[in-house]
């Protein structure tokens, strides 16, 4: 899919090229598709031609929570709930 954006040519020069701008837009678009769950993280990494750890860093920089961070947080909460239950402590409401 291709998009066209009408911008003045004088916004770009040798320090910040049109190609650099287009590549950044492409990256941000792919990251947005990951954020809204339209694309899997492994697909995004492949499309961007980067390693998984690089994708995770870019996701974090864009304010997108990587899957493993979400799972780690859930596991921590579940482990805590199980420990409290086994210790006979009543659950705490998260309202």
What pLDDT, on a 0 to 100 scale, did the predictor assign at position 71?
A: 57
Q: Which residues of the chain have pLDDT under 50?
A: none
Q: How far apart (Å, rounded) are the C-alpha atoms in residues 46 and 12?
A: 28
What pLDDT, on a 0 to 100 scale, did the predictor assign at position 78?
A: 74
* Residue from 31, 27, 42 nearest 65 by CA: 31
Alpha carbon 62 to its chain's center: 6
Do 33 and 25 meet the contact criterion of CB atoms below 8 Å apart? no
What pLDDT, on a 0 to 100 scale, did the predictor assign at position 11?
A: 96
Token readout for 75 is 């596991």
Concatenating the DSSP letter of every residue in 22-67 gives HHHHHHHHHHHHHHTTSS-HHHHHHHHT--HHHHHHHHHHTT---H
Domain layout of the chain by residue ranges? 10-86
């Amino acid at each position: 899919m291709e998009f066209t954006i009408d911008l003045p040519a004088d916004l770009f020069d040798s320090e910040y090229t049109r190609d650099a701008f287009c590549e950044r837009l492409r990256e941000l678009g792919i990251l947005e598709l990951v954020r809204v769950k339209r694309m899997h993280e492994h697909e995004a990494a492949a499309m961007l031609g980067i390693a998984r750890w690089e994708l995770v860093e870019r996701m974090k920089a864009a304010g997108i929570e990587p899957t493993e961070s979400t799972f780690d947080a859930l596991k921590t909460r579940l482990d805590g709930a199980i420990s409290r239950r086994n210790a006979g402590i009543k659950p705490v409401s998260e309202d």
